[in-house]
Amino acid sequence: MATEQAPGVAQSKEIEDLRLRGRQIGEFLMVYKFALEELTTKVEILREEINYRKGSSPIEHVSTRLKTMDSIVAKAERRGIDFNPVAIAANLFDIAGLRIVCSFISDCYEVTEMLTAQTDVKVLEVKDYIADPKANGYRSLHVIVEVPVFLSTGVRPTPVEIQVRTVAMDFWASLEHKIYYKYAKDVPAHLGDELTAAALAARELDEKMQSLHREVRVGRPRWV
């Protein structure tokens, strides 16, 4: 005959289970937080070093993003991934995100090359949406890298998604995100067309600024 648990015992077990689950979630996300901090430090070192040597830096600003557990769960469900740390770590590579905003198109590639050339940064995937924009006009350089996180229990290679883009690309992407969020991704056709046109204008501006930048560096007058 089964013995029933007293209400207080059942409640205590439930609270303990919740505490354990919260601890596991915290430890899972902590590793990605540390990976972000390591990469951010690398970028800031590059930024300061280039600025010291050349008097200016190609990096305008840097930001980081760590997905919430709700967002991770939602994405795992959409992709049919089992909700456990091993499966999530093996299939989701954008839990931790680092965004680097540069002045010019050429800077995006140069900064990416300098960062990924470091021996402890392993490149897993590259998607060049600058050379080959998305259908809606989105442009950015996406690189998924793996960096070692040194814990008391050992080394944890951890993936981080890096987005490298110009100021114009970043401004457009920010506006596009706000519009898609407001309309829950069901954007009216005329706004979609306007966004695409704005993306083209941003691209033309980037190319013009790149041309001027190149001209200034070479020191050749436009009329020659």
Does residue 22 carry a pLDDT above 70?
Answer: no
Domains of the chain: 18-167 (3.30.460.10)
Q: How far, in Å, CA of 200 to CA of 92, rounded?
A: 31
- pLDDT of 180 reads 76
- pLDDT of 183 reads 79
Give residue 82's pLDDT band: very low, low, confident or very high (50, 70, 90).
confident
Average pLDDT score over residue span 160-189: 88
Answer whether 195's CB lies under 8 Å from 136's CB.
yes
Share of the chain above pLDDT 70, in %: 86
- pLDDT of 10 reads 58
191, with CB counted inside 10 A (0-12, 13-18, 19+), is: middle
Q: How far, in Å, CA of 214 to CA of 208, rounded?
A: 10
Q: How far, in Å, CA of 35 to CA of 183, rounded?
A: 33
Contacts of 91 (CB under 8 A, 6+ apart): 76, 79, 81
pTM tops 0.85: no
Q: How far, in Å, CA of 100 to CA of 3, rounded?
A: 60
- The string of pLDDT tens digits covering residues 43-75 is 999 999 999 998 889 999 999 999 988 888 888
Mean pLDDT of the chain: 86
3-state helix, strand, coil in the chain (%, to 5): 55, 20, 25
Which range has the top average pLDDT, 68-82, 83-97, 119-133, 165-179?
Answer: 119-133
Q: How far, in Å, CA of 126 to CA of 162, rounded?
A: 10
Answer whether 88's CB lies under 8 Å from 76's CB.
yes
| Positions marked catalytic | 161
* 215/140: higher pLDDT: 140
Does residue 1 carry a pLDDT above 50?
Answer: no
Q: How far, in Å, CA of 215 to CA of 137, rounded?
A: 27
Give residue 152's pLDDT band: very low, low, confident or very high (50, 70, 90).
very high
